[in-house]
Amino acid sequence: MGILNVEHIVKSFDKTEVLKDICFSMEESEVLSIIGSSGSGKTTLLRCLNFLERPDKGIIKVNDNIVFDGNDKSYLKESVIRKNRMHFGMVFQSFNLFPQYTAIENVMLARRLQAEKLPDFKAKKKEILEEIRSEAEFLIAQMGLTERKDNYPHQLSGGQCQRVAIARALAMKPDILCFDEPTSALDPELTGEVLRVIKELAETRMTMIIVTHEMAFARDVADKVIFMDNGYVLESGTSDEVFNHPKEDRTKQFLGRFNNG
Amino acid sequence: MQTFSEQLPIVLHSLNIGFLQTLKLFFVTLIGALPLGLLISLGTGSKITPLRITLKIFIWIIRGTPLMIQLLIIYYFPGLVLKNAIWGGDEAGRFAASAVAFIINYACYFSEIFRGGISSIPIGQDEAGLVLGMSKSQIFFKVKLLQMIKRIVPPMSNEILTLVKDTSLARIIALQEVIWAGQAFMKGSQGISGAIWPLFFTAIYYLICNGLLTLLLGGLEKKLEYFR
Ligand SMILES: Nc1ncnc2c1ncn2[C@@H]1O[C@H](COP(=O)(O)OP(=O)(O)O)[C@@H](O)[C@H]1O
Ligand SMILES: [Mg+2]
C-alpha cells in the first residue's frame, strides 16, 4: 500500500536528535511538499531516504518492500545501500554538476557506467550507448536545454544548471524524485524556469518530494504537505488543509511569516 | 694555451655528461616522489591516528630542514655512525644516496600538494555520484581525479621547476652533475683551468630545461582550462 512508507525514523548527530519519530506515506504520482523553518530537519530527512545519512531507527518501505530497517544490520551493507538508494533521485540545492562534463555528458555519465557493468555490454555496446544518448537528449529537451546540451556547467546560468541536474536525476529512472530547496541557490529571476519544469514533471505524474521555501509554489503543486518543526512532523495533510486551515499554532506562525512578507 | 674554439667542444662534452646525471636525478626523483607523495598524502588523511601523527611529524621535519642537510646525513650517516658504508664511495653510490634524499624530500612536498588537491573537491561531488548509483572508485576516477589534477598542476609545476634547480645540491656529496662538471674547469681539468665561463654555460642548460618544462606544464594547464 503506497509507493513510500516512512515509519518512526530517528536520526541523531552526536547527541542531538535531529529527526524524532518521522512517519509519513505517499501514493504513486503524488507530490509531497515538506516545509518548515531552517534547521527543522528537512534536508536530513531527504538524505536519510537516499542513504547519504544512515537513520538510527525506523523502517523505510518502497512499493511495500523494506529498503531500510534500523533493527536489521544487513540493510547497512554498502551493496544493499547502493541498490536501494536507486529508488530515489536527488536534486541538490547547489546542483553538484560534474564540471568537466558537458550538460548531456552529465546526464549520461552514471547510466553509461552502469551499462558498462552489464554482461552483454561488449556485444551490444553501440545500441546500448545509442539508447542512453537518445534518452538523455529527450530529457535535455524536456528541460528546454537542447541548445545548451554541449555547454559545460560554468557556461550555464544557475537555472540551467539546476535543470541539467534534474535531467541527470531523471536519467536513473527513480521511483521518487527528491528536491532539496532546488531554487534556494538561484537569483530570484531564475527560480521561475526551474519551478516550471518541476510543475511539468508533476503533470507527467512523476512521484516527487519537494523541500521548498517557495510557499506559493508548494501550495500549487503539492498534493500533500508536511510541516516539520524541530525534528518532528508537526502537521500534515492535503495542500488545502495545511495551507488554508492549519491546526497547529506553530504552522500558523510559520505560514504567517510568508503571507506578510 | 688553447683558444676558446678549441676549449668549447671539450667543455660542452663534459657539461653534457654532467647534465645527463642532472636529468637522471630529476627523473628518478619524479618517478619515485610522485607515487610516494600520493601514499603519504593518503596516510595523512588516514583514520589511524598513530600513522597520521607520525607522518605529520615526518613531513614537518623534512620540510622544516634544508635538503642539503638531509643529503649529507643520508650519505654519511651509515658510514660514519653505523660503520656500514652502504652507499659505497663511487658515483653510483653517490647517485643512489642523492636519489633517496631527493625522493623523500620531494615526496613530502608533493604529499602536501596532493592533500590540498584532494580536500579541495567539494563533498557535493561525492554525494552527487553516490545518489546516481556510482561506486566509490567510479566517483574517484570518473568524477574527482581530473578535477584534482586541474588543481594540482599549478603548484606541482612550481615544485618541478624548483626540483630541476635543486638537483645541483647533490654537488655537496660530489655527485658529478652539471655544476660539478662546470666547476672542474675552474680548478683545472683536461688542460683547462681558471675558467669561469663554463659555469655560465651550465646556467644555460638549466634555462633551456626549465623553459621546455614551463611550456609543457603550461600547455597541460591550458588543456584543463575547458572546465572550472
Ligand atoms: N552532518 C551534520 N552533523 C551535525 N549536525 C548536523 C549535520 N547535518 C545537519 N545537522 C543539524 O541538524 C539539524 C537539521 O538540519 P537540516 O536537516 O539541514 O535542516 P533543514 O534542512 O530543515 O534546514 C540542524 O540543527 C543542523 O545543524
Ligand atoms: Mg536544508
Give the pLDDT score at B194.
87
Backbone torsions φ then ψ of A122, nearest 5 degrees: -60, -45
Classified as helix, coil or strand, A257 is helix
A40 lines ligand 1 (CB under 6 A): yes
Q: What is the 3-state secondary structure (H, E, C) of B47-100?
A: CCHHHHHHHHHHHHHHHHCCHHHHHHHHHHHHHHCCCCCCCCCCHHHHHHHHHH
Chain length of chain A: 261
Ligand 1 centre to CA of A90 (Å) is 17
Domain boundary assignment for chain B:
4-227
CATH architecture classification, B4-227: Orthogonal Bundle (1.10)
Q: Do B132 and A109 touch (CB under 8 A)?
A: yes
pLDDT tens, residue by residue, A48-98: 999 999 999 999 999 999 999 999 999 999 999 999 999 999 999 999 999
User: Across the 228 residues of chain B, what is the mean pLDDT of every consecutive 10-residue run?
Assistant: 86 95 97 96 92 96 97 94 88 96 98 94 98 96 96 96 97 94 92 91 96 97 96
Model confidence, pTM: 0.90
User: Strands A16-26 and A176-180, how do they pair?
Assistant: unpaired
Instruction: Name which of A127, A148, A153 is nearest A137 in CA terms.
Output: A148
ipTM (interface pTM): 0.96
How remote is the CA of residue A134 from the centroid of ligand 1, in Å?
39
3-class secondary-structure state, position A11: strand
Judge if the beta carbon of residue A212 lies within 6 A of ligand 1. no
How far is the C-alpha of B57 from the C-alpha of B63, rounded, in Å? 10
pLDDT tens sequence across A103-159: 999 999 999 999 999 999 999 999 999 999 999 999 999 999 999 999 999 999 999
Buried b (16+ CB within 10 A) or exposed e, A130-154: eebeebbbebbebbebeebbebbbe
Give the sign of the dihedral formed by CA A208, CA A212, CA A214, CA A215. Answer: positive
Cβ contact, residue pair A100, B135, below 8 Å: no
Burial class (CB in 10 A: 0-12, 13-18, 19+), B116: middle
